[in-house]
Amino acid sequence: MCLGLPMRIEELNGPSALCSADGHFEGVDLALVPDAQVGDFVLVFQGAARRALDAQEARLIAEALAGVAAIMAGEADAAAVDRAFADLAGREPQLPPHLAAAYAAGRKEA
């Protein structure tokens, strides 16, 4: 499985950047987010920034990934899982708007 990681841009180098996450530094291609600046967060997948993130979204993704790592290592209890997925805990799953519309259009009332 491949995951996108939230990273912070530390330094711009033309069409690429030096980005960091948890003390790890990586060169990242910025072709898909050309307006990104130092200090911005980007979602990085296979060495390329796919889209810009705001600080809160970057934090939520990082917390979820840390939660998954803790679960896989057998180090997470139910409270830790709820903290890692705070934006999802205690609510019903929701379809994205385009899928919700398609679902509603295809649903038949009884």
Are residues 47 and 61 located together in one domain of the fold? no
**Distance (Å, whole) CA 48 – CA 28:** 5
Residue 28, both tokens: 């990242």
pTM above 0.85, yes or no: no
Opening angle at CA 90, ends 95 and 75, nearest 5: 105
14 and 45 share a domain? yes
For residue 16, how many C-alpha atoms fall within 13 Å in the half-sphere facing its CB? Answer: 8
- Structural domain harbouring 11: 5-53
Structure confidence at residue 46 (pLDDT):
94
User: Has residue 68 been placed in a domain?
Assistant: yes
Residue 18 and residue 46 share a domain: yes
pLDDT in tens, 37-71: 999 999 999 999 999 999 999 998 998 888 888 88
Identity at 44, one-letter amino acid code: V
Per-residue exposure over 27-45, b if at least 16 CB sit within 10 Å of its own CB, e if not = ebebeebeebeeebbbbbe
